[in-house]
């Protein structure tokens, strides 16, 4: 089914422009519905008016992506998993990033400390906050009481969504009944346990994972669970390691995604998960290898899964500060893969204070492309320089491309200097522009009535530049001589 247009959505609304959804018009609501900024349920008229039930049902079908989304957990940290419309990001965008769950064994003596660490872990990178999304509690003890105790401890300490992982359905459901109000993810429904797990999931409106290493059997499980009434389903074709098995795992995930998104197979139209953590149970650990070499294999699998938009992954490595590199690698890749290709990541233009600048401090100039502005700010701080940072509106484009395209020009910089009163903050008229914008220096001196010096091509050189080339008194003398 082709992606609906805003007009198709608009045709199913009552066109009252009531603004109860928080939008000024029904057309604005239609546009935001396509962009996942609102849901059909946010249109109170459509939801409450029984005469519009047919339109509502039609709109829900129209707005539901070929790969449905599933919610796990409650509160501020609940996860929205899956819900994608395209196979490749450049075709539109990916809406929901790969969710990362970290596994913890139910008999782990460090369970509480690990759960607290993962819950509070925050990594800030390029203006984004990177975090773990959930915890997969594994029943390795085989003891119902132990699994129940671990789940109790975990949910008291952490507000992260929980996946209860146990292949014994009796133990799984006994523990799930204790924390069902937190909407845990049930792992798993298999060919042997689907009926018991499925009925419990329906009765308690809980999400469940269907598992099989045979895709035909997995599709049958999906169809059977749906017939039973399960609506919140996640598919796991199982993750396998060893010679040739990385390709097999990749192929199975892609077959499920193609079946859902391109072929619109209703049995495949659910989020897909993978378990890179399976490395530790499938591969004989070679003690001659260093620990990081084994962790590296797990992270390679996780990276492959993220790059093809696997909806959820479960990791083993990265549960403490010593292994933070594993999470850094995966979170950094995720941040890149799930950026929106339709928009340039931009920051607000303006004059920013770096450190504690005064009237003698230098003025650096940069673009408002986020991945330019933030590294420049970090490098100025790293050089222990108190400075002013003038961020010019370059339409969110980086320096080199914006100079070539005319978005970062002498006129644009001069306009920003005037708009933000840059020279009112200092006793000099010196601007430091990026090395990549060197060709703008002459025109900028005329446009901004300033003395322009060319800084390093890369902001990592700011510290060296300030020590060796920053000579404000000499620059101002040249400026005054030229004015005469």
73 lies in the same domain as 48: no
Confidence of residue 1 (pLDDT cuts 50, 70, 90): low
330 lies in the same domain as 210: yes
Residue 156 lies in a domain: yes
110 lies in the same domain as 96: yes
223 lies in the same domain as 282: yes
Of 10-19, 167-176, 183-192, 230-239, give the lowest mean pLDDT range: 10-19
Residue 2 has pLDDT above 80, yes or no: no
Q: What is the mean pLDDT of residues 18-43?
A: 93
82 lies in the same domain as 115: yes
303 lies in the same domain as 409: no
Q: What is the pLDDT of residue 126?
A: 85
> What's the domain count of the chain?
3
Confidence of residue 432 (pLDDT cuts 50, 70, 90): very high
User: End of a domain among 63, 94, 112?
Assistant: 63
Q: What is the mean pLDDT of residues 37-55?
A: 90
Do 386 and 356 contact (CB within 8 A), yes or no? yes
105 lies in the same domain as 249: yes
Q: What is the pLDDT of residue 449?
A: 96
Residue 484 has pLDDT above 90, yes or no: no
397 lies in the same domain as 412: yes
256-272, pLDDT tens digit by residue?
A: 999 999 999 999 999 99
Q: What is the pLDDT of residue 139?
A: 98
131-153, pLDDT tens digit by residue?
A: 999 999 999 999 999 999 999 99
Cβ burial of 427 (10 Å; 0-12, 13-18, 19+) is exposed
53-66, pLDDT tens digit by residue?
A: 999 999 999 999 99
Q: The pTM is what?
A: 0.88
Confidence of residue 360 (pLDDT cuts 50, 70, 90): very high
Q: What is the CATH number of the domain that holds 15?
A: 1.10.15.40
Highest mean pLDDT among 1-10, 286-295, 337-346, 417-426: 417-426
51 lies in the same domain as 88: no
167-200, pLDDT tens digit by residue?
A: 999 999 999 999 999 999 999 999 999 999 999 9
Q: What is the pLDDT of residue 45?
A: 87
Residue 412 has pLDDT above 90, yes or no: yes
Residue 345 lies in a domain: no
298 lies in the same domain as 410: no
Confidence of residue 481 (pLDDT cuts 50, 70, 90): confident
Residue 343 lies in a domain: no
172 lies in the same domain as 271: yes
Alpha carbon separation from 202 to 167, 180, 448 (Å, rounded): 19, 12, 67
Domain hosting 141: range is: 69-337
70-106, pLDDT tens digit by residue?
A: 999 999 999 999 999 999 999 999 999 999 999 999 9
User: End of a domain among 41, 63, 85?
Assistant: 63
Residue 440 lies in a domain: yes
Residue 482 has pLDDT above 90, yes or no: no
């Amino acid at each position: 089914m082709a992606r609906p247009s805003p007009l198709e959505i608009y045709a199913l609304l009552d066109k009252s422009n009531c603004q109860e959804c928080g939008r000024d018009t029904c057309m604005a609501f239609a546009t935001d519905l396509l962009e996942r900024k609102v849901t059909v349920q946010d249109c109170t008229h459509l939801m409450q008016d029984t005469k519009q039930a047919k339109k509502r049902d039609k709109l829900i079908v129209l707005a539901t992506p070929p790969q449905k989304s599933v919610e796990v957990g409650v509160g501020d940290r609940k996860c929205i998993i899956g819900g994608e419309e395209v196979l490749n990001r450049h075709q539109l965008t990916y809406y929901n990033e790969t969710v990362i769950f970290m596994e913890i064994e139910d008999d782990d003596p460090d369970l509480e400390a690990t759960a607290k660490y993962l819950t509070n872990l925050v990594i800030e990178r390029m203006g984004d906050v990177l975090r773990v999304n959930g915890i997969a509690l594994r029943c390795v003890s085989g003891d119902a009481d132990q699994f129940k105790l671990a789940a109790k401890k975990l949910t008291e300490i952490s507000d992260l969504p929980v996946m209860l992982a146990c292949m014994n359905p009796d133990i799984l459901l006994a523990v799930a009944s204790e924390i069902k109000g937190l909407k845990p993810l049930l792992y798993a429904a298999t060919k042997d346990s689907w009926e018991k797990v499925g009925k419990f999931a329906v009765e308690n409106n809980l999400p469940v994972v269907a598992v099989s290493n045979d895709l035909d059997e997995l599709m049958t499980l999906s169809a059977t669970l749906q017939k039973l009434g399960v609506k919140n389903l996640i598919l796991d074709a199982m993750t396998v390691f060893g010679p040739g098995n990385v390709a097999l795992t990749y192929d199975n995930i892609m077959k499920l995604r193609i079946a859902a998104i391109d072929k619109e197979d209703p049995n495949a139209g659910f989020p897909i998960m993978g378990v890179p953590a399976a490395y530790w149970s499938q591969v004989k650990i070679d003690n001659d290898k260093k620990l990081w070499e084994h962790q590296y294999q797990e992270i390679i699998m996780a990276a492959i899964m993220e790059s093809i938009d696997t909806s959820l992954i479960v990791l083993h490595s990265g549960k403490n500060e010593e292994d933070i590199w594993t999470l850094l690698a995966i979170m950094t890749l995720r941040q890149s893969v799930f950026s929106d290709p339709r928009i340039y990541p931009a920051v607000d233009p303006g004059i920013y204070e770096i450190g504690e600048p005064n009237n003698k401090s230098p003025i650096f100039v940069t673009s408002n492309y986020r991945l330019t502005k933030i590294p420049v700010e970090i490098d100025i701080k790293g050089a222990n320089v108190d400075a002013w940072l003038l961020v010019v509106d370059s339409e969110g484009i980086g320096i080199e491309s914006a100079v070539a395209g005319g978005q970062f020009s002498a006129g644009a910089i001069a306009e920003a200097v005037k708009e933000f009163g840059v020279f009112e903050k200092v006793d000099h008229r010196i601007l430091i522009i990026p090395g990549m914008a060197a060709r703008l220096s002459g025109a900028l001196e005329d446009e901004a009535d300033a003395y322009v010096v060319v800084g390093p091509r890369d902001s990592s050189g700011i510290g060296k530049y300030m020590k060796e080339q920053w000579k404000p008194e000499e620059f101002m003398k040249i400026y005054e001589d030229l004015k005469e």
